[in-house]
Chain A
Amino acid sequence: MKGNSTGTRHHDAAAGPGMQHRRSARTDRNAIVTFIATTALSISLVFGIGVGAWALWSANFTDSDVQVGIGAKVGFAVGRIEVATTESASATAPAQVLNIPTLTSEDAETLLASTPVNGERTLAIPIRVQLRADGNLGIQYSAELPSFDSGTVFGESTIRLFPLSSNDDSAAVNACTAAAAPATQPPTEDVVGIATGDTSLTIATDYWCLTVVYTEGGTYTNVGEASASSTASPNADPSPTVTVDPTEIAASDSWQAYVVDSGMYGWVHTVTVP
């Protein structure tokens, strides 16, 4: 009888007493199950509990296209523009002071070997400052001017460090002349290389010119004297008006020495934020 639990009336009528008993039991059980199911559903509907499904709606969207980056950089380098190469020093950390050999003994030799014009010897050294500040960052920098001892070549010179408006190395070399030097030393502190607030990758180059105008000085005079005597017979003095000891000779001479006090210009930068 398996699979016939919902048998028809025809089947029931043909059944014996045993089957009739089982039919009555099934009928009662079916009625009770139906009653329970109906009641449970009613309860769940009325009280919102039990077997009913209760869902809260939601809607959403996703986006995975956006990428953001890190790795902003800053850079600061300064050096002399030479004919063939550029000597420079680069910063690798904040608040570094970059000392570049701006005025050396070789520069003094060059200065003193130059042809004086109106009694002045001049020297002009173009300097390049390279800057990079990504994103909102900016860079300020300062040039610390050295002091030279009086009595030295550079101590007796007029030295100016001033900015150029040149756009490239070649233009800076041409523009950097002693004649372009200002009468007074312009400020070299807190120069804004790259202003804050520009969110792009910003690379800039500033040009400066260091000029030296040397007027005589910065030397000291050496005087040397030498004498000698001889036991040999004196030569006849061709000048009868001068009486000298024919057995002694004497001579003296003098020369000048240049004292060079080399100067290191310190360059220091500051990274700025908006």
Chain B
Amino acid sequence: MPAKFSPLTIAVSAVLVAALSGVGTTYALWNQAHSQTGGVITNGDLQLDNDAFSWQETTPAKSTNLASGTTAASVADFLGVNGDEVELRYRVTAVLTGDNLQAEVNVAWTPPAPTLPSGLSVAGYRVYDGELSQLVPLTALGTQSQPEPLESTGPGGTVSTQLVIAVVVRWSAAPTYTGDFTSTTVAESLTELPITVTLTQVR
């Protein structure tokens, strides 16, 4: 007595046939057994460590007396004016373990993105190597970039690379006039810059 297939069975079979024909392969039943001692499966790794923070004034028109600091609090004391630029530098260690593994860097706002006041902008980010040689020029936030060394090759290859991710902050506001010649108050208002630095495998 022939088996009666349910509609579900027929539908699944039809999908299978379609899939097989779509990829143009043949389907045959054969079987062969071979015994072998168990091998070791090595898992890969992708790691990003934030080692240190610093900031550096990079105002284009200046070459000397550039402001800098190593704490987040000290950035707030920088009195940016029209034409000024500062890099918020995150020294990170990127570790890639795996065969033929490649990764890219991205810097984006940590949602929700802040509303920046007029006269203040974040132009993007740059990537340097550990010696501060530029690897990636100014790139818009949210755009992945490919620093050259972020690639592990060969069986079980591991690459540990120190990078400096630099978020570029620029000021464009004209200063306001005051008759106050005694105040030591610095900036009128402070704006948080919440960022997320991501290392993403692309291969």
Interface, chain A (partner B; CB < 8 A): 21, 24-25, 28-29, 32-33, 36, 39-40, 43, 47, 50, 56-77, 90-93, 130-137, 197-201, 203, 205, 271, 273-274
Contact = CB atoms under 8 A, between A and B. Distances in A.
Contacts of B180: 73, 75, 132
B190 A67 contact: yes
B12 interface: yes
A69 B78 contact: yes
A58 B175 contact: no
Contacts of A65: 53, 72
B44 interface: yes
A72 B120 contact: no
Interface residues of B, number: 78
Contact of B50 (A40, A63, A70, A73): A63
Contacts of B13: 32, 36
Contacts of B185: 201
Contacts of A133: 175
B110 to A, nearest CB: 5
B49 to A, nearest CB: 8
A156 B201 CA distance: 85
Contacts of A201: 79, 183-186
B187 A75 contact: no
B117 interface: yes
Contacts of B12: 33, 36
B81 A273 contact: yes
Give 5 closest A-B pairs by Cβ, nearest first.
A69-B187, A71-B188, A135-B79, A64-B194, A60-B198
A17 to B, nearest CB: 11
Contacts of B80: 68-70, 72, 135
A75 B180 CA distance: 7
Residue among A36, A60, A137 with the highest chain B CB neighbour number at 10 A:
A60
A36 B192 CA distance: 55
Contact of A136 (B53, B83, B169, B201): B83
A36 B16 CA distance: 7
B125 to A, nearest CB: 12
Contacts of A90: 177, 179
Contacts of B183: 201
A70 B80 CA distance: 6
Contacts of A73: 175-178, 180
A274 B80 CA distance: 12
A154 to B, nearest CB: 30
A68 B76 contact: yes
26 contacts: A29-B6, A36-B13, A43-B20, A57-B201, A60-B48, A63-B197, A64-B192, A64-B194, A66-B88, A66-B192, A67-B72, A67-B190, A68-B86, A68-B190, A70-B120, A70-B189, A72-B79, A72-B175, A75-B180, A131-B181, A132-B181, A199-B65, A199-B67, A200-B79, A273-B81, A273-B82
